[in-house]
């Protein structure tokens, strides 16, 4: 009678209830296992810098940005020191077209005249960096966009490149990072804020330069001796076959990467990303990771799990240790 009444009241009978409770306990045990797996990596990376490069298609996906920044906030909460470096090429191109300025690219780099530089600065410093910082704050963290004239973190110089015949190519106000203002980053962390750095550099003379965000992130990682440099992409990582997502190369050393570039396996827009990462590795950065920003919590899966989810690139001397 009591069981019948319980059934009629919408409550499960004892056997079903016990099965439900057993299932809940198993779920809780599985979650505890995930936390224990992460514990080793949390302890290992506590107090270490990790540079996360955000840009490209990832910035056009609001939910994707929210997922990534949730992961960044988790890193900061468990003791890592995440630094967000971002670009915004698609947003810049849209702003240029809205202003009636036709984007122009030279050898894959945006030609940056005075008008373009103003648009680049406005989009990156006035729009995207504050948006990223505001989202981190909405998620419950604290963030400091380093965008004011006195607080630009990147120090740069003009980028000089030549064509195949050795003739110099004019890129306008395009630069490369030669130093970083470490005191600004230290100040942000002292205030328990996550630094957000747009890919705009200031010259020693006070001028501004448009900097490729991948190379900017790699330079920051190199100059502060980061434990990790993470590139967020719109592909799973480095693929042995660009048309087959299942051909992911999950672990590769720097020498093998150079061979893959020479063989054309790593191609197109992945080449400058990987080359920037290799420079960072050569300068002492622990590991470089390329992960898919479209996958929820890809950052956490890559850094705090035994198997990872994307591609990790390591120095040859570390190639025998395939760990996070």
Question: Which residue segment(s) compose the domain that 112 sits in?
Answer: 48-318
Residues 18 and 124 in one domain: no
Query: Greater confidence, 95 or 43?
Result: 95
Does residue 4 register a pLDDT over 50? Answer: no
Range in 41-45, 126-130, 183-187, 253-257 the model is least confident about: 41-45
Residue 164 binned pLDDT confidence (cut-offs 50, 70, 90): confident
What residues are paired with 162 via a beta bridge?
A: 168
Residues 295 and 151 in one domain: yes
State residue 15's pLDDT score: 58
Residues 30 and 86 in one domain: no
Which two structure tokens, joined as six digits, stand for 209?
A: 């330069």
Please report which helix (H) or strand (E) contains residue 156, including its range.
strand 154-158
Residues 204 and 300 in one domain: yes
* Residue of 232, 233, 235, 216 whose CA lies nearest to 279: 216
Residue 316 binned pLDDT confidence (cut-offs 50, 70, 90): confident
Residues 172 and 278 in one domain: yes
State residue 240's pLDDT score: 92
| Cα–Cα distance measured from residue 69 to residue 62, given in angstroms and rounded to the nearest whole number | 11
State residue 321's pLDDT score: 46
Residue 16 binned pLDDT confidence (cut-offs 50, 70, 90): low
Domain assignment present for residue 23? The answer is: yes
Domain assignment present for residue 289? The answer is: yes
Residues 211 and 299 in one domain: yes
Measuring CA to CA, how many Å separate 189 from each of 228, 230, 304? Answer: 17, 19, 22
Residues 40 and 18 in one domain: yes
Domain assignment present for residue 323? The answer is: no
Split into its structural domains, the chain has a count of 2
Query: Greater confidence, 124 or 306?
Result: 124
State residue 161's pLDDT score: 86
Query: Greater confidence, 60 or 30?
Result: 60
Residues 39 and 58 in one domain: no
Burial 236-269 (b: 16+ CB within 10 A, else e): bbbbeeeeeeeebbeebbbebbeebbeeebbeee
For residue 239, the 8-state DSSP code is: B
Residues 193 and 70 in one domain: yes
Tally the C-alpha atoms within 13 A of residue 257's C-alpha that lie toward its C-beta: 29
Residues 306 and 171 in one domain: yes
Given a contact cutoff of 8 angstroms between Cβ atoms, the answer to whether 120 and 112 are in contact is yes
Which two structure tokens, joined as six digits, stand for 255?
A: 């020498």
Domain assignment present for residue 128? The answer is: yes
| Cα–Cα distance measured from residue 225 to residue 230, given in angstroms and rounded to the nearest whole number | 14
- Mean pLDDT computed over every residue of the chain: 88
Quote the percentage of the chain above a pLDDT of 90. Answer: 65
Residues 83 and 23 in one domain: no
Residue 160 binned pLDDT confidence (cut-offs 50, 70, 90): confident
Please report which helix (H) or strand (E) contains residue 312, including its range.
strand 311-314
Domain assignment present for residue 5? The answer is: no
State residue 22's pLDDT score: 61
State residue 109's pLDDT score: 86
Range in 12-16, 66-70, 159-163, 261-265 the model is least confident about: 12-16
Query: Greater confidence, 15 or 276?
Result: 276
Strand stretches in 103-153, DSSP E:
105-106, 109-110, 143-145
Domain assignment present for residue 52? The answer is: yes
Does residue 322 register a pLDDT over 60? Answer: no
Q: What is the mean pLDDT of residues 271-277?
A: 91
Does residue 59 register a pLDDT over 70? Answer: yes
State residue 40's pLDDT score: 82
Secondary structure (3-state) at 251: strand
DSSP for 30-96? Answer: HHHHHHHHHHHHHHHHTT-EEEEEE-GGGGG-HHHHHHHHHHHHHHHHTT-EEEEEE--HHHHHHHH
Residues 111 and 190 in one domain: yes
Burial 49-69 (b: 16+ CB within 10 A, else e): bbbbbbbbebbeeeebbebbb
Query: Greater confidence, 219 or 58?
Result: 219
State the CATH number of the domain containing residue 264.
3.40.1160.10
Q: What is the mean pLDDT of residues 171-185?
A: 96
pLDDT tens across 222-255, in order?
999 999 999 998 888 999 998 898 899 999 999 9
Question: What pTM, to 2 d.p., does this model score?
Answer: 0.86
Range in 54-63, 213-222, 228-237 the model is least confident about: 54-63
pLDDT tens across 135-154, in order?
999 999 999 999 999 999 99
- In this structure, the number of other CB atoms found within 10 A of the CB of residue 33 comes to 10
Domain assignment present for residue 2? The answer is: no
Domain assignment present for residue 277? The answer is: yes
């Amino acid at each position: 009678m009591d069981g019948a009444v319980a059934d009629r009241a919408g409550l499960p009978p004892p056997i079903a209830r016990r099965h439900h409770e057993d299932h809940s306990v198993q779920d809780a045990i599985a979650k505890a296992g995930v936390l224990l797996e992460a514990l080793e990596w949390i302890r290992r990376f506590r107090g270490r810098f990790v540079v996360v490069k955000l840009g490209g298609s990832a910035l056009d996906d609001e939910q994707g940005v929210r997922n990534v920044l949730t992961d960044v906030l988790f890193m900061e909460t468990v003791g890592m020191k995440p630094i967000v470096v971002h670009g915004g090429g698609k947003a810049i191109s849209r702003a240029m077209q809205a202003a009636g300025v036709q984007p122009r690219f030279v050898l894959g780099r945006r030609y940056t005249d005075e008008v373009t530089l103003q648009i680049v600065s406005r989009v990156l410093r006035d729009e995207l960096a504050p948006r990223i910082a505001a989202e981190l704050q909405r998620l419950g963290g604290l963030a400091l966009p380093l965008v004011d004239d006195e607080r630009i973190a990147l120090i740069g110089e003009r980028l000089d490149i030549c064509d195949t015949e050795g003739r110099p190519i004019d890129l306008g106000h395009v630069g490369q990072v030669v130093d970083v203002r470490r005191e600004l980053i230290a100040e942000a962390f002292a205030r328990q804020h996550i630094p957000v750095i747009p890919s705009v550099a200031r010259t020693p003379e006070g001028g501004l330069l448009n900097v490729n965000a991948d190379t900017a992130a790699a330079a920051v990682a190199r100059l502060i001796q980061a434990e990790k440099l993470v590139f967020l992409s719109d592909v799973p990582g480095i693929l042995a076959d660009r048309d087959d997502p299942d051909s992911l190369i999950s672990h590769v050393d720097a020498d093998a990467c150079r061979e893959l570039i020479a063989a054309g396996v790593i191609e197109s827009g992945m080449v400058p990303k990987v080359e920037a990462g290799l420079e960072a590795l050569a300068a002492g950065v622990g590991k470089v990771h390329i992960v898919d920003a479209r996958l929820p919590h890809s950052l956490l899966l890559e850094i705090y799990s035994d198997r990872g989810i994307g591609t990790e690139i390591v120095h040859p001397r570390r190639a025998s240790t395939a760990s996070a």
